[in-house]
Amino acid sequence: MALTRREMLKLGIAGSAAVALPLQRVVSGAVAQTRIAESSLPAPFTVPFAVPPVITPHRTDATTDYYMLTQKQSTVQILPGINTPVWGYNGIVPGPTIDVQQGRQVLIRQVNKLPDRHPIAGYQPWTSTHLHGSPSLPQFDGYASDITRPGQYKDYRYSNTESARTLWYHDHGVHHTAENAYMGLAAFYRLHDPLEVSLPIPKGNYDIPLMIHDAMFATDGQLIGDDHDHSGIMGDVILVNGRPWPVMQVEQRKYRFRILVGSMSRSYRLKLDSGQMMTVIAGDGGFMPVPQPVSVLRTGMAERYEVIIDFANIPIGQRVVMRNLPRSDSDDNNISYTHTDKVMAFDVVAPSSSSANNEIPAVLDPNNPVMALQPAQAVARRTMKLDRSKGQWTINGTSWADVVASGYKKVMANPKLNDIEIWTIENASGGWFHPLHIHLVDFKILDRNGLPPLPQELGPKDVVYVGENETVRLIMRFGPHLGKYMIHCHNMVHEDHDMMTQFEVGTGGPDPIRAALPKWGSPPAP
């Protein structure tokens, strides 16, 4: 991989030796890997598209759906003909999709059957599972230091009382989140509610999850997880639902795509080569008040945008390509390779076979309480500065190592239950873009650099893209639970090194580590 000097400077490759962290930090082994030749990669748009399977519960009762997921290593062919060891929930990548109805409780027994060591990095893969998009209790929130070791399991409970939305569950194991997720520990979780059912938007076979992420492969098929001195893991292959640059067959009608950037470090500017708009109907926290058409969708890691694409006017036999606009040196730190400007293709093959639910309603969710929040309601204002110091990424100069060193007592903010606050997130260092995620809450983005948020950001969010030299203001209400919750950059490499801190709602909430301990052994299904 040849980097320009400009790229090397941006990546911070000139300097900054790793800093030893107290506890829980294991230095990755330096195994030499060689990137697979570009000529051995599949040509874009030759691999058929697929969606991850939906898993059915092991059992249900009056209130609860019970699942068991086993985190384990398996060998899959992501690149046709090449074997790649991966870590998946039930051994598949992405993991199985979970569908749940609002108000149904879900219990997931997460069993860690991973090997005792990462094949390249050599650390022990402890895990912690976060359901991203859920206001979970602290002990079920995937608190990074609440680890489950190989040979252990832990039951997670979710109440699913929030509005319909696209969630995802992924690993959050302290200081190894990036490696664990890059190996495949990520999957969709869709929460449905009556409002969603009532909207005439595409459903069923026309409601399609798209997990987009990038990867790089070594000649022996192993994933290459070079993090460029803790700046980011960048792949030369773009995967959608685990398939390289796939091609999907579509009908002449509208489709709803649930776009999730599952990349460790890459952000995207998605655009259709037909020049069509994509109409954003939902953000991280569910439906927008009204739909927002965009021609380019800038989206970073962990953001979810649901978009409707209409193929009605595309002649049968024609192809629409979803592109990723190449980075421009001035506005982002992504590393471009030959085919990272392509994501997937849609081949229009047939007339619409169903005219039901083929609309974009003018109004979606006019009553979301998050979107009703007003600055005058705020009882506190805080600033979070995103920066890098001594080779570590920090928030207001602190890192997760500081939280660990404090015995998990150190907090950045301590709002009372139901307090409304405005947070200014400042990325003045210019070094990188940081998609900042705040656990527990959904927030409304007030402005970016003093200007209105992007059209796709005019809905409830839990991750905000804070670009190079950007300052963003958010407003949110803290609840519904007491306790300690993480704030971090969702570049998982930054998160691990060590751009993560926490806040506490009220006092006396459940202890995120001790309130629900993992157990040893091979459990039966719950």
Select the residue whose beta carbon is closest to ligand C2O and give its number.
132
The minimum distance between CB 348 and ligand C2O, in angstroms, equals: 34
Interaction pattern, residues 384-423, with Cu ion; x per rule: CB under 5 A? ----------------------------------------
The minimum distance between CB 133 and ligand C2O, in angstroms, equals: 8
Provide the b/e sequence for 141-174 (b: ≥16 CB within 10 Å).
bbbbbbbbbbebbbbbebbbebbbbbbbbbbbbb
Residue 157 tokens, joined: 């409970």
Q: Using CA atoms, how far apart are residues 466 and 393, in angstroms rounded to an integer?
A: 14
434 contact choice in ligand C2O, Cu ion, none (CB below 5 to 8 Å, kind-dependent)? Cu ion
The minimum distance between CB 107 and Cu ion, in angstroms, equals: 19
Q: Using CA atoms, how far apart are residues 423 and 470, in angstroms rounded to an integer?
A: 14
In the complex with Cu ion, the residue whose CB is nearer, 250 or 489, is 489
The answer to whether residue 266 forms part of the interface with Cu ion (CB under 5 A) is no
The minimum distance between CB 509 and ligand C2O, in angstroms, equals: 17
The minimum distance between CB 272 and Cu ion, in angstroms, equals: 28
Tell me, by CB under 5 A, how many residues bind Cu ion.
6
Window of 18-26, 208-216, 286-294, 434-442 that interacts with Cu ion by CB under 5 A: 434-442
- Assign 270 to helix, strand or coil: strand
491 contact choice in ligand C2O, Cu ion, none (CB below 5 to 8 Å, kind-dependent)? Cu ion
The minimum distance between CB 362 and ligand C2O, in angstroms, equals: 32
**Where on the chain is the footprint of ligand C2O (CB under 6 A)?**
130, 132, 170, 172, 302, 437, 439, 486, 488, 490
How many Å separate Cα 198 from the centre of its chain?
Answer: 27
The minimum distance between CB 473 and ligand C2O, in angstroms, equals: 21
Among 491, 492, 498, 518, binds Cu ion (CB under 5 A): 491
243 contact choice in Cu ion, ligand C2O, none (CB below 5 to 8 Å, kind-dependent)? none
- Assign 273 to helix, strand or coil: coil
497 contact choice in ligand C2O, Cu ion, none (CB below 5 to 8 Å, kind-dependent)? none
484 contact choice in ligand C2O, Cu ion, none (CB below 5 to 8 Å, kind-dependent)? none
Residue 500 tokens, joined: 């993560």
The answer to whether residue 434 forms part of the interface with Cu ion (CB under 5 A) is yes
Residue 234 tokens, joined: 């960048």
Long-range CB contact pairs, 449-457, < 8 A, 24+: 454/294, 454/298, 455/280, 455/292, 455/293, 455/294, 456/280, 456/283, 456/292, 456/294, 456/297, 456/298, 456/299, 456/305, 457/283
Query: What amino acid is encoded at 333 in this protein?
Result: N
Q: Give whole-number Cα distances, 336 to 75, 229, 489, in Å.
A: 28, 18, 22
Rg of the chain, C-alpha, whole Å: 22
In the complex with ligand C2O, the residue whose CB is nearer, 45 or 140, is 140
The answer to whether residue 444 forms part of the interface with Cu ion (CB under 5 A) is no
Q: Using CA atoms, how far apart are residues 48 and 162, in angstroms rounded to an integer?
A: 35
Provide the b/e sequence for 341-352 (b: ≥16 CB within 10 Å).
bbbbbbbbeeee
488 contact choice in ligand C2O, Cu ion, none (CB below 5 to 8 Å, kind-dependent)? ligand C2O
Subset of residues 139 to 198 that bind Cu ion, contact rule: CB under 5 A: none
Contact (CB, 8 A) for 331 and 466: no
Beta-strand relationship, 304-310 and 278-283? antiparallel
The minimum distance between CB 20 and Cu ion, in angstroms, equals: 21
259 contact choice in Cu ion, ligand C2O, none (CB below 5 to 8 Å, kind-dependent)? none
**Is residue 344 within a helix (H) or strand (E), and if so which, with residue range?**
strand 342-351
The minimum distance between CB 137 and Cu ion, in angstroms, equals: 13
Judged by the rule CB under 5 A, the positions of this chain that interact with Cu ion are 132, 434, 439, 489, 491, 494
